[in-house]
């Protein structure tokens, strides 16, 4: 994913050959945050594969969704790269960084082929870095 305003190089961790990916946020589906990947203890979301949220209004304005994604982020759960889904969790996290609502980094997991995954740490953006002039409305 192209993240304007972020300093390069981004911090990347590659998975070991044959190692399954860690538990990760896959996507959103009808009021649920869908998790995929390995098993991991997450405190309040221990071993759940779906985390419900109040599905009201626009996703980028949904405080319950924001709170639960922030909780998952605090537990170190990466977010799957979904560049074709404009309201995917990774894009929401990046936009919340851009608007200043999310002031910490998050991890994004992507694949370069079968079994070849890697995790990128996405830091909050800085105006002027890589031509970034500040936040735009969601989806632009």
82 domain-assigned:
yes
pTM of the shown model: 0.84
Start-to-end CA distance of the chain, whole Å, equals 15
Burial status of residue 11 (CB atoms within 10 A of its CB: 0-12, 13-18, 19 or more) = exposed
Q: How many residues does the chain have?
A: 140
89 domain-assigned:
yes
119 domain-assigned:
no
Q: Where in the sequence is the domain holding 98, given as residue range(s)? A: 11-113
pLDDT in tens, 30-77: 999 999 987 555 555 555 688 999 999 999 999 999 999 999 999 999
99 domain-assigned:
yes
18 domain-assigned:
yes
Q: In the chain, how many domains are there?
A: 1
- Least confident segment among 13-17, 29-33, 42-46, 101-105: 42-46
22 domain-assigned:
yes
Backbone angles phi, psi at 47, to 5 degrees: 60, 10
20 domain-assigned:
yes
77 domain-assigned:
yes
């Amino acid at each position: 994913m192209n993240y304007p305003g972020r300093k390069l190089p981004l911090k990347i961790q590659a998975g070991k050959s044959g190692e399954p990916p860690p538990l990760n946020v896959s996507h959103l589906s009808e009021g649920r945050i869908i998790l995929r990947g390995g098993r991991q203890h997450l405190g309040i979301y221990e071993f759940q594969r779906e985390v419900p949220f109040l599905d009201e209004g626009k996703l980028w304005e949904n405080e319950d969704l924001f709170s639960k994604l922030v909780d998952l982020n605090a537990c170190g759960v990466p977010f799957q790269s979904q560049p074709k889904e404009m309201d995917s969790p990774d894009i929401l996290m990046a936009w919340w960084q851009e608007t200043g609502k999310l002031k910490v980094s998050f991890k994004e997991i992507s694949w370069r082929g079968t079994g070849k995954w890697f995790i990128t740490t996405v830091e909050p953006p800085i105006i002027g870095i890589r031509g970034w002039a500040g936040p735009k409305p969601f989806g632009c």
